Amino acid sequence: MRYLSTRGGISPLPFTATVLEGLAPDGGLIVPEKIPELSEADLRRLRGLSYQDLAYEVFRLFADDLPESELRLLVDRSYATFTHPDITPVVKKGRVWILELFHGPTLAFKDVALQFLGNLFEYLLLTRGEYMNILGATSGDTGSAAIYGVRGKRNLAIFILHPHGRVSPVQALQMTTVTDPNVFNLALEGTFDDCQAIVKQLFGDLEFKRRYRLGAVNSINWARVMAQIVYYLWAYFRVSEAEGAEEVRFSVPTGNFGDIFAGYLARRMLGGRIERLILATNENDILTRFVNRGDYSVREVIPTLSPSMDIQVASNFERYLYYLFGEDPERVREAMVRFAEEGRLRFSEEEIRRVQRDFLSASVTQKETLETIRDFYQETGYILDPHTAVGVRAALEFLEARPMICLATAHPAKFPEAVSRALGFEPPIPEALKGLSERPRRVVILPADPAAVRRFIEENALQIS
């Protein structure tokens, strides 16, 4: 399999060459040259596999320049850190199925991809005799999942900036109690936007970026999308079998369009057996306006109870545009230039109709999110986290004869305040979070000043001396 840029500016690359790059050098996103379609025989062969075996088979289609024995090891190592034998179990609750993606080390779905990405990076760097310093800013989930993906890995260090005192207590503890020497938590005396601006500035200094081999693990990395395809296929097999149904729907709480884009690819691979994907947004509804009215226009970010979806410009959206525009990189480039200038994109009636064959969409308010947590608990005894609740609420609007599978993207114990507002009590604390506050911490507090962060990286980064 070879890889292209959505903007057409690179010659085709093999998988391993794209992984360490992240973004394509022409500013576009990496996409596979073609999306493999699974035959009836493939489906019969894949249906009964364990999660790890299925992941191996899916990755082999996309990552065909990795030695097979190595790929096998990477998969096994990545999912050994999950606490459930099915890795991502799917359970029937009331009228829907819940696909639990939160059994990894940080209790959110990003572990599924980032555990694999950390191992993959380590392998690629070791075989090339190279090293990398990962730099990122976080307001919560991504940072801790990235830290747990990189901790203890050779040839790899990570610097994660978070706003001091402004991430949730659980999330701050999850990050700062990782004491491996290759993990650096920097708590900046400023806001999340300050952290992001500093990261952007340091990446923009090409000399600095090159000297310290700065890398990113953000959601545009192709290997992350690839890893997320697996659980759609996995859940499709489990649920279609249990319900004797040929077709299903998935509901996906969406922010950066990464998770749901993996669902789009799974839908193409399954030849439409995923009849529709439900794109669920919170009050930051740009993607819902896109699906329902062809209006993709940026507004102010509204802070909500589902903070990991408080996003306006969805960084993976460009990948979908590429397919919507018939894999025409010229049109993607034009659209992205126009979007950068005007902050909006418009689509034709015909295009909107095509989008609506892939997706149905609803935007869910915070009041509805809390109601859903409460009603769902009363009906089923099951506690939803606020992100999952957004997806469940949207799913209930589009329920019909086909089974509905709702992605549960975080464990409710990560968001005790929201759950407590809905239910009047906090969710039980899982093993992974017990005793966190007694553990030793490793965090450095710095002013929100690019020069201070730069100096810290210079003093602590991996480098060839």
Ligand X SMILES: *Cc1c(COP(=O)(O)O)cnc(C)c1O
Chain residues binding ligand X by CB under 6 A are: 108, 110, 141, 219, 253-259, 308-309, 387, 409-410
Query: Is the Cβ–Cβ distance between 131 and 210 less than 8 Å?
Result: no
Q: Are β-strands 404-408 and 444-447 bridged in parallel, bridged antiparallel, or unpaired?
A: unpaired
Structure tokens at 433: 């979070």
Question: Is 110 among the residues known to form the active site?
Answer: yes
Secondary structure (3-state) at 390? helix
Cα 254 from Cα 310, distance rounded (Å): 9
For residue 395, the minimal CB distance to ligand X (Å) is 14
Helix (H) or strand (E) holding 280: strand 274-281
- Complex with ligand X: residue 108 or 461, whichever CB lies closer: 108
For residue 258, the minimal CB distance to ligand X (Å) is 3
Cα 101 from Cα 87, distance rounded (Å): 8
Q: Give CA angle at 358 (89, 242), nearest 5°.
A: 30
For residue 144, the minimal CB distance to ligand X (Å) is 10
Q: Are β-strands 96-100 and 404-408 bridged in parallel, bridged antiparallel, or unpaired?
A: parallel
Ramachandran quadrant class, 377 (left: phi over 0; alpha: psi -120 to 50; beta: rest): alpha
- Complex with ligand X: residue 111 or 122, whichever CB lies closer: 111
Q: What is the largest CA-CA distance in the chain?
A: 63
- Provide the CB-side half-sphere exposure for 189 (13 A, CA): 5
Query: Is the Cβ–Cβ distance between 97 and 402 less than 8 Å?
Result: no
- Complex with ligand X: residue 115 or 219, whichever CB lies closer: 219
For residue 207, the minimal CB distance to ligand X (Å) is 31
From the candidates 93, 110, 200, 414, give the one annotated as an active-site residue: 110
| Phi, psi torsion values for 248, nearest 5 degrees | -135, 170
Q: Could you identify the residue written with the tokens 């009849």?
A: 275
Q: Give Cα 435 distance to the centre of its chain.
A: 27
Cα 262 from Cα 349, distance rounded (Å): 25
The CA-based dihedral angle spanning residues 14, 15, 20, 24, taken in that order and rounded to the nearest 10 degrees? 70
Query: Is the Cβ–Cβ distance between 141 and 168 less than 8 Å?
Result: no
Q: Give CA angle at 394 (389, 398), nearest 5°.
A: 140
Cα 57 from Cα 45, distance rounded (Å): 10
DSSP state of 185: E
CB atoms under 10 Å from CB of 249, counted, come to 20
Strand order of the sheet with strand 404-408? 90-93, 96-100, 404-408, 248-253, 274-281, 359-363
Secondary structure (3-state) at 442? coil
Strand order of the sheet with strand 214-215? 214-215, 132-137, 156-163, 183-189, 444-447
Q: Which positions are annotated as active-site residues?
A: 110
